[in-house]
Amino acid sequence: MAERLMSFEEARTYLGIARPTLYLYARTGRIPGLKVGTLWKFDKADLKSYLKRLMKSYYAKRKNKIKQRGLVYGKHKKNSHSRG
């Protein structure tokens, strides 16, 4: 069964972003949307994909930053000065 289309306000609330941001992202194609007359419609599956891409990008950048600092991702680097 196809996911239902969401209104602009439903999509904005689902994503947790401001109106101007959603307008910008929809107009530029960053978030896929369909403009019907004066109304924007968004497929929930597209919004889920957008959030997944966003999270994947965030964690990739975070992992890279940790790697650049010489730390081990997901683990604490042992301090050579610690006792025990």
Ranges of each domain in the chain: 5-68
Question: Has residue 71 got a pLDDT over 50?
Answer: yes
Half-sphere exposure of 73 (CA within 13 A, CB side): 10
Q: If we measure between CA atoms, which residue out of 47, 33, 42, 36 comes closest to residue 7?
A: 42
What would the two tokens of residue 21 be? 């941001």
Q: Are strands 39-43 and 5-7 parallel, antiparallel or unpaired?
A: antiparallel
pLDDT one-digit tens code per residue, 23-34: 999 999 999 999
Report the alpha-carbon distance of residue 32 to residue 42 in Å, rounded: 7
Kindly report the CATH class assigned to 5-68: mainly alpha
Report the alpha-carbon distance of residue 36 to residue 8 in Å, rounded: 11
pLDDT of residue 1: 38
